[in-house]
Amino acid sequence: PKPPSAAEAKGRQRYNFLAGSARDQVVFGSERPGQPRPNPDVPSTPRGSDVPCHVVDQWAAHMKSKQIQRVLCLLGDSELSFYEEPLLPQLRRHFGDQVVNHVAPEAPDAFSRINAVLDGARRGQEKIVVFCSTGQARTGLVLAYWVHSEHSLPIADAVTEVIEYAARHGAVRKPTVEQTIQFLLGAHGGQLMPSMRILGAGGGAGSFATPRVDSSMHINFVQMGGTIDKDYPRMTGGYAFEITDPAVRRILSVVPRNFTFDVLSVCRKDSQELTVEDRQALVEMIRRTPGTDFIVTHGTDTMIETAQYVAAAKGLVDRRVVVTGAMRPQKMMDSDASFNIGVAVGALNVIGVGVYVTMNGRVHPAHGVRRDGRTGHFVSK
């Protein structure tokens, strides 16, 4: 038997080869043939000397010993020049012309091309290895996307699973939530390696799903009442308030939008006056209304309680529900209503199935949010 490599002797996977998750045996990740850096924790691509053909042969033999039938190369043009002979023709001699694919990380259509390659492996139930230079960042991103899309995990959970599964089994993967989301959104034309951080330092820990890439989005807005819909008409003897027509109609009437919508109403109440019957009526409306995307406008005092009630309801397995409102009525000049509605609409493009609360520019799962008693802001638990 062949003696273990230095990496294997230290408990590391040879070639940084491993599936993305214990739940998957189709898509695997690896470093490139001849990657000279002995420490897989260092994500660099040193030039080194040209990689000889026998090193590529050894890499291919190892992949074949793992029953790999397809290959997806994510190297850039400069990295492909690291070989004594062109790398892709060498790999095609080992695996076949039709099953060795190359997608450069800067390709404007990287997402669609990678997705097509993975879909071919899925349909054929053929094991595929995806590799970049070290098998950490680009490869990790594709593995996180695959685990997310194939096994219906929220993006944050898929990223964590890929990283932790690799760490437990002697490999290194370094995808990030923000890069995975941006890759899915098609930022920079769908390139594989986006650079702009869209969730801020530290990433985000929400439950994100594959964003929509078409214009067929339809949202059902459901009115429950609350400050967002309040008006203060002149009354005899002073001012009073009443909850009037849904503010969302006025908000959406003055902005360009690429979705259709309906506005429904359960009730027009101050949220402190809502009853169990009101909340159940909301659940029934969401359950019986065609469509999957809902934004519920609601008073802020009991918004969390309503969101958690809906989250606990049965029969809403394919629904995305965002509960939002406003601290000031939409009819006031300094209202936060339009901002909160905008964040809620944006959230529906990336969240997974479930119930969420959106206020103060943040999106929280229904059971992962609380109200800060000092600031009044909605914050993560």
Q: What is the pLDDT of residues 194-204, one digit of tens each?
A: 432 222 223 33
- pLDDT tier, 48 (very low <50, low <70, confident <90, very high otherwise): low
Confidence of residue 36 (pLDDT cuts 50, 70, 90): confident
What is d(CA 28, CA 128) in angstroms, rounded to the nearest whole number?
6
Categorize the per-residue pLDDT at 207 as very low, low, confident or very high, splitting at 50, 70 and 90: very low
Percent of all residues in the chain with a pLDDT value above 90, rounded to a whole number: 62
30 has pLDDT over 60: yes
Report CA torsion sign: 218, 187, 80, 174: negative
Please say if the pLDDT value at position 208 is more than 80: no
Range of weakest confidence among 118-132, 225-239, 310-324: 225-239
Q: Name the average pLDDT for the chain.
A: 85
Six-digit token pair at 202?
């530290």
Pairing of strands 293-297, 320-324: parallel
What pLDDT digit, counting tens, does each position of 139-198 carry?
999 999 999 888 877 788 889 999 999 999 999 999 988 788 777 765 344 455 543 222
Query: What's the rounded mean pLDDT across residues 84-93?
Result: 96
Q: From residue 159, how far is each of 93, 107, 132, 156, 234 by CA, in Å?
A: 34, 23, 17, 5, 55
pLDDT of the residue at 59 = 97
Grade residue 106 by pLDDT with cuts at 50, 70 and 90: confident
Backbone angles phi, psi at 338, to 5 degrees: -60, -40
255: confidence class by pLDDT, cuts 50, 70, 90: confident
Give the confidence band of 350 by pLDDT, cuts at 50, 70, 90: confident
Look at residue 361 and tell me whether its pLDDT is greater than 50. Answer: yes
- At 276-329, the pLDDT tens digits run 999 999 999 999 998 999 999 999 999 999 999 999 998 888 899 999 999 999
pLDDT recorded at residue 241: 76
CB atoms within 10 A of CB 378: 22
Query: What pLDDT is attached to residue 279?
Result: 95
> How much is the pLDDT for 199?
29
Rounded to two decimals, the pTM is: 0.52
Q: Report the distance separating Cα 226 and Cα 207, nearest Å.
A: 27
Nearest to 87 by CA among 124, 34, 24: 34
143-147, 170-174, 255-259, 351-355: segment of lowest average pLDDT = 255-259
Scan for tokens 């012309």, then name that residue: 97
Burial per residue of 223-232, b for 16 or more beta-carbon CB atoms within 10 angstroms, e otherwise: bbbbbbbbee
pLDDT value, residue 185: 61
Angstrom distance (rounded) from CA 101 to CA 142: 14
- Burial-class residue 110 by CB neighbours within 10 Å (0-12, 13-18, 19+): buried
Q: What is the mean pLDDT of residues 49-63?
A: 95
Q: Do residues 344 and 310 make contact, with C-beta atoms less than 8 angstroms apart?
A: no
The whole-number pLDDT of residue 94 equals 96
Residue keyed to tokens 């291919």? 60
pLDDT value of position 239:
57
Structure tokens at 206: 């929400």
First-to-last CA distance in the chain?
54
Q: What is the pLDDT of residue 234?
A: 57
Contacts of 108 by beta carbon, 8 Å cutoff, 6+ apart: 188, 189, 190, 191
